[in-house]
A = this chain, B = another copy of it.
Amino acid sequence: MPRLKRAAAPPRERILQAARELFHREGIHAVSVDALAAAAGTNKMTLYRHFSSRDELIAAYLQELATEGEGIWDEARSAHPGDPEAQLRFLLRRVSDFAAEGRGRGCALANAAVELAERKHPARRVVEAHKRRQRERLVALVREAGYARPERLADEIFLLVEGARVALQSIGPGGPGARLYDLAVEMLERAPRLKSLHK
């Protein structure tokens, strides 16, 4: 019988977990692989056995965040099946709450795009693909909810969300980023629809 002395997760998961905390809180370039390995309860050598380089670790960390972000859409769908309007508000609520937490460091994916200016960095492909997919899903959901000109309304909401998360870092929690949910929901209420849906 294994006495489960620690039940520790395998090092790869611990490293990715430490990356999520440190990279997002302190910024990617401010965290060394030594510090990352130490925070994960392991060392640099083990880290390099799971990730061929620091850049690929960054890409894996962002890929994990992106995959997890995709899950929010399924969450919204199962929370309000067949009700795209409620799914929209569910997503906005989640994004707004998430933006306020974590000492206002905004979206880790977007931050990575800002930090990693080199156009060929492997992380940029992950960020771009994720953001593009988010936008497409948002357009589809807005269209499904019956709004007129869904691309336009979706882009407005998209930019509102992105702006809120970056404004939290520049102006701080007292700025307009904190009002994201109210702004976005009222924008929805004012937007014209193709068909009236009031039951």
Contacts and interface: CB of A to CB of B under 8 A. Distances in A.
Interface of A: 25-27, 29-30, 105-106, 109-111, 113-118, 127-128, 131-132, 135, 152, 155-156, 158-167, 169-172, 175-177, 179-180, 183, 186-187, 190
23 contacts: A27-B114, A27-B116, A27-B117, A29-B29, A29-B30, A30-B118, A105-B117, A110-B167, A110-B170, A115-B115, A128-B170, A131-B171, A131-B175, A132-B171, A156-B183, A158-B163, A158-B176, A159-B177, A159-B183, A161-B163, A162-B167, A163-B164, A166-B166
Of A118, A172, A177, most buried by chain B (CB within 10 Å of CB) is A172
Given A27-B115, A160-B163, A166-B163, A176 B135 contact: yes
Given A155-B183, A159-B176, 6 more contacts: A29-B30, A113-B170, A114-B114, A127-B170, A131-B167, A159-B159
B170 A155 contact: no
A105 B110 CA distance: 12
Chain A interface mostly helix, strand, loop or mixed?
helix
B117 A170 contact: no
Given A117-B105, A131-B171, A179 B155 contact: yes
Sorted nearest first, the 8 A-B pairs with minimum C-beta distance are A163-B163, A159-B163, A162-B163, A155-B176, A113-B170, A27-B117, A114-B114, A113-B169
A115 B186 CA distance: 32
A180 B163 contact: no
Given A114-B114, A117-B27, A128 B172 contact: yes
B135 A175 contact: yes
A163 to B, nearest CB: 3
A159 B163 CA distance: 4
B117 A114 contact: no
Nearest to A183: B156
Contacts of A161: 163
